[in-house]
Chains A and B, each alone.
Chain A
Amino acid sequence: KNQVEQSPQSLIILEGKNCTLQCNYTVSPFSNLRWYKQDTGRGPVSLTIMTFSENTKSNGRYTATLDADTKQSSLHITASQLSDSASYICVVADRGSTLGRLYFGRGTQLTVWP
């Protein structure tokens, strides 16, 4: 069973609108949570990384929140642009090994229409 669940699976919004993507995880012990953006046919690109003590982090129009108590995170995109169309992947790292094992969600496929 995947320990990182994302919702919705896909989302269509109009250009200029805001949206929020959700990530729930069961990974323990928790180390950090990352959000990646993956354009079609490309590798993922890191948007934010949050550790246990951080509950919000912004990167331009992207704002990620983390509630380590409820094991939930969200990614809010403000004033969406056509270039925001991509898959957004939530990744959680544990503290159980030197590698810091990463657990990947399946992503939310966002499509921004003009």
Chain B
Amino acid sequence: EADIYQTPRYLVIGTGKKITLECSQTMGHDKMYWYQQDPGMELHLIHYSYGVNSTEKGDLSSESTVSRIRTEHFPLTLESARPSHTSQYLCASSIRGSGGADTQYFGPGTRLTVL
């Protein structure tokens, strides 16, 4: 079981609200990621970070923002939630494994519903 945590696990909010999805890991991993996943669809990378004070946008355009002030913490913020933001958000961290391939560890996810 990976030591990566996400809160809340489920969130139902109204349109226009500001929300922050929390992600923390206790494994000391430098790389962290946020993915968005809709039912039956593939994961899409929306943000990633190589380390403290390093953040980059991923492949999928997202209106969310992230910050990386501490190694263990990688929160994602939506300034004004919309129904189109309804999705599952997965946080992950990674470490370089043997053979050079990063092994990713995923959190349990946050299921967000925007009404």
Contact = CB atoms under 8 A, between A and B. Distances in A.
Given A46-B103, A49-B97, A107 B42 contact: yes
Contacts of B2: 45
Interface stretch (A12-20, A36-44, A62-70, A72-80): A36-44
A85 to B, nearest CB: 16
A2 interface: yes
Interface stretch (B13-21, B65-73, B106-114): B106-114
Interface in B57-110: 59, 90-92, 97, 99-109
Interface of B: 2, 4, 40-45, 48, 59, 90-92, 97, 99-109, 111
Interface of A: 2, 4, 31-32, 34, 41-46, 49, 51, 89, 93, 99-102, 104-107, 109
